[in-house]
Amino acid sequence: MKSTVLRLATTIGLFSIAGAAGADALLPVTNQSALARSFALPELGSATLLAPGANEFRASLDWTNEFATDVNPKGLPKGAIPDESVTLDGETQRYAWNWRHGLDHGFEIGLQLPFFVTNGGVLDGIIHNYHDALGFQDGGRGNAPHDRLLYNYTKNGQTLLNIDNSATEFGDVQLQGGWQALPNLALHAMVKLPTGHSDHLTGGNLGSALWADYDPFSGSQHWLGFVSAGGSANNTGSVLAEQQHRLVGFGGAGVGYRVTQPFALIAQFYAHTKLYGDSGLKPLRRGGLQGAFGGRYDINPHLAMNAGFQEDLITESSPDISFHLSFVAH
């Protein structure tokens, strides 16, 4: 825990030195599931690109706790081998450093460098007690060992995925570009480079994405928002390679309201089509839908803070909970 606090403090410190910021982007989040890292799923909501010569820097932390388990078919006699079983149980701290730079003629380039700390974590007991206190179902979390790291998938008696070792390493670097097609519409492209490692579920395969971000509240003093849609194409990686969907559609929408001039409340949604196929298990056969809720605070004219959390609105298709914190400057 001490090392986590130190990393976060260092990130904030370096970022504050970098200087300056805040366009009216909403929460920069996406599906933080370990099995989603093989896919190019970009952050959405940047409908207004930077002016020529302008720079934006962002440092972020997404702290995610994931638990899902399923067996198919149900109700097998004792001792029988099921056709499929899956356990997705782990915790990840994802640190990311982003840079964007405005070019002439409405163009923009950008870079994202992610860094992962994956382990059993510390949140399992807290989440179980929260579910228990409010009478929520926890999908078997209470019967599983707390603070365990285990990503396991078996099919027809074969183990196709079994990862139980923690990791501290870089993920897939993202190169981005954008064009301001209209004052409130931006077109984006992204390439995800295979700099992560599939044996630790931090990426490791090539992917690309194209999408559009539209701002329906352009010019408003109080309302922020976006509507986005796009698709990605991904090389087959080594994580459940025969079941990966190479083409994935995604989209999202968000709205924010400035309660005061420096503070805005935010709600947004992110959806994508199925990432894997040929499975009867919920974590693999479902598309994803996440809801994010939080706020943005403009610390000064050059520095803003985003904070919030993200939940799985389609259960077991994405992590139970992910906490987001980011600082944006330019």
Where is average pLDDT lowest: 18-22, 36-40, 289-293? 18-22
SS3 282: helix
d(CA 80, CA 106): 61
Peptide bond into 73 cis (omega under 30): yes
Question: What are the pLDDT digits (tens) for 128-139?
Answer: 666 666 666 666
What's the whole-model pTM score? Answer: 0.88
Give the up-direction half-sphere exposure of residue 21: CA atoms within 13 A in the CB hemisphere.
29
**Highest averaged pLDDT of the listed ranges 74-78, 155-159, 288-292:** 288-292
pLDDT in tens, 173-199: 999 999 999 999 999 999 999 999 999
Does 3 score more than 60 pLDDT? no
Pick from 92, 109, 75: nearest CA to 37: 92
Angle at 129 between CA 125 and CA 133, to 5 degrees: 175
C-alpha dihedral sign at 43, 316, 287, 90: positive
We report the CATH number of the domain holding residue 7 as 2.40.160.40
**How many domains, in total, are found in the chain?**
1
**For residue 14, pLDDT beyond 90:** no
Structure tokens of 48? 């207004």
> Is there a contact between 177 and 107 (Cβ–Cβ < 8 Å)?
yes
* Mean pLDDT taken over the chain: 89
d(CA 181, CA 230): 15
SS3 content of the chain, % helix, strand, coil (to 5): 15, 50, 40
Question: What is the SS3 assignment for 128?
Answer: helix
Domain housing 187:
2-329
